[in-house]
């Protein structure tokens, strides 16, 4: 069986900063994020690892990322920042903006759900998992981040049943666009590379307005849950300068820090 993805085709479609990234394709692995995290001490530059199949993919807070071979695009990007680990919060928001804007350029109406999901027509289209570690030889001034992305290409009934929640797929493009998976991976990498360099140079501020313009729940009644318990209810406003999620509640404005909390539309909480 031939590979769906091609290292040469992906690299050939990369531009600018993305050309410095080493591209690796494997047929099957447990988790591309776990693989790259285990290799950080040996990496000399950025690496994108894409798997045809992941058997132990993970989402935020250790949740299982469900996938079907050929119907889900899953990859991880290891990137070294000239920043300490403490300055990397907000990176999932940056990655979300990059992902949604790239999909929009391909004719896919992607929207962002805080802190790390991409939606289409209310269903989950993609998820982002960020893991990070200080650079071994210079921990106070540098850190590695591994950015894992899972993108649904086909919202099959079997995958929907596995996840148990509404999902969406990037399975329809305008007639003049070819659904070439290698070119989609390259487009995502081109965008991510530019965004990560901008984040390193300027922080989160250039991405706040862009995130808020893509906010899936802007102005809608939502709830913040912690392990199923409702912590806050209010009207969704967006994110602030620190990447906190802002709610307009009966008690006033509340800023929620990212953590093991969930955001839901109020009607589903």
Nearest residue to 134 via CA among 95, 94, 85: 85
Q: Which of 39, 80, 183, 264 is catalytic?
A: 264
Q: Label the pairing between strands 221-226 and 229-239.
A: antiparallel
Please say whether the beta carbons of 185 and 140 come within 8 A.
Answer: no
Q: What is the pLDDT of residue 258?
A: 73
Q: Which phi and psi angles does 156 have, rounded to 5°?
A: -70, 155
213 has pLDDT over 60: yes
140 has pLDDT over 70: yes
264 in catalytic set: yes
Q: What is the pLDDT of residue 59?
A: 55
Q: Of 90-94, 169-173, 202-206, 215-219, where does mean pLDDT reach its minimum?
A: 169-173
Q: Which of 111, 113, 120, 124 is catalytic?
A: 124
Q: Which of 60, 111, 120, 244 is catalytic?
A: 60
Look at 205 and 58; give whichever has higher pLDDT. 205
Query: pTM for this structure?
Result: 0.90
176 has pLDDT over 50: no
The string of pLDDT tens digits covering residues 245-269 is 999 999 999 999 876 688 889 877 6
The string of pLDDT tens digits covering residues 1-31 is 456 899 999 999 999 999 999 999 999 999 9
Q: Label the pairing between strands 47-54 and 22-29.
A: parallel
Which residue ranges form the domains of the chain, and what is each CATH number? Answer: 7-213 (3.30.930.10), 221-268 (2.30.30.100)
């Amino acid at each position: 069986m031939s590979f769906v993805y091609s290292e040469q085709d992906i690299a050939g479609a990369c531009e600018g900063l993305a050309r410095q990234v080493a591209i690796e394709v494997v047929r099957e692995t447990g988790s591309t994020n776990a693989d790259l995290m285990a290799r950080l001490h040996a990496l000399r530059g950025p690496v994108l690892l894409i798997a045809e199949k992941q058997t132990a993919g993970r989402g935020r807070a250790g949740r299982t990322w469900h996938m079907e071979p050929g119907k889900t695009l899953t990859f991880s990007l290891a990137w070294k920042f000239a920043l300490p680990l403490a300055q990397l919060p907000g990176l999932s928001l940056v990655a979300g903006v990059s992902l949604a804007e790239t999909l929009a350029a391909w004719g896919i109406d992607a929207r962002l759900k805080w802190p790390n999901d991409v939606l289409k027509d209310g269903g989950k289209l993609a998820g982002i998992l960020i893991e990070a570690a200080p650079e071994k030889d210079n921990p106070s001034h540098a850190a590695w981040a591994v950015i894992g992305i899972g993108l649904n290409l086909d919202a099959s009934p079997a995958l929907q049943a596995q996840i148990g929640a509404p999902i969406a797929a990037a399975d329809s493009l305008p007639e003049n666009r070819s659904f070439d998976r290698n070119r989609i991976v390259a487009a995502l990498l081109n965008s991510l590379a530019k965004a990560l360099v901008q984040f390193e140079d300027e922080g989160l501020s250039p991405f706040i307005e862009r995130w808020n313009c893509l906010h899936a729940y802007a102005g809608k009644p939502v709830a913040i849950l912690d392990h199923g318990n409702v912590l806050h209810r209010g009207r969704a406003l967006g994110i602030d300068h620190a990447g906190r999620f802002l709610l307009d509640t009966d008690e006033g404005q509340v800023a929620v820090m990212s953590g093991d909390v969930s955001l839901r539309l109020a009607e589903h909480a």
